[in-house]
Amino acid sequence: MLISIRLLIDGQKCTDCKTCELICSFKKASVFNPKVSRIHIATSYPPTLVYPVACIQCEEATCIQVCPVKALQKDEKTGAVILDEEKCTGCKLCVEECPYSAIRMNEPRRKPLICDLCQGSPACVEWCPTGALTVKKLGA
């Protein structure tokens, strides 16, 4: 049976420690650099509120629908949106059309940064010290 994974975010538990950004960038790009993290902490203006933002794996994913070269598709095992870097032309349409602003561009590489749920065991969830990030399994 297909078991989809969802990343659940509880903004009220987030302390803005940014551990999630650092562990994500390290796991995916072997650097501690928030600019290449697939999760980021959004801050309100004036800076009174913070909220973790990452792909929430929409059922009807706008990014998949707008990609002109079909570089995005759902992983059959986890339900995560997966990028085919070979196909991607770096047009940024997925970044611009995501209704949650959950996709950012790795500008030097001209490739979008999209959470792939770490094959079902997200590192950000493992390392978040407050429980602001958790996973839910669907269809089990």
Taking Cα atoms as reference points, which of 17, 47, 18 lies closest to residue 34? Answer: 18
Q: What span, in angstroms and rounded, lies between the C-alpha atoms of 73 and 44?
A: 31
Burial of 7 (0-12, 13-18, 19+ CB in 10 A): buried
Residue with smaller CB distance to ligand SF4, 2 or 88: 88
Is residue 52 near ligand SF4 by the rule CB under 6 A?
yes
CA distances to 5, 43, 130 from 83, in Å = 17, 27, 30
Residue 101 binds to ligand SF4 (criterion: CB under 6 A): no
Among the listed ranges 24-32, 53-61, 62-70, 115-123, the one in contact with ligand SF4 (CB under 6 A) is: 62-70
Minimum distance between the CB of residue 118 and ligand SF4, rounded to whole angstroms?
14
Q: Where do contacts with ligand SF4 occur on this chain (CB under 6 A)?
A: 14-20, 41, 52, 66-67, 69, 71-72, 83, 88-94, 112, 128, 130, 132-133
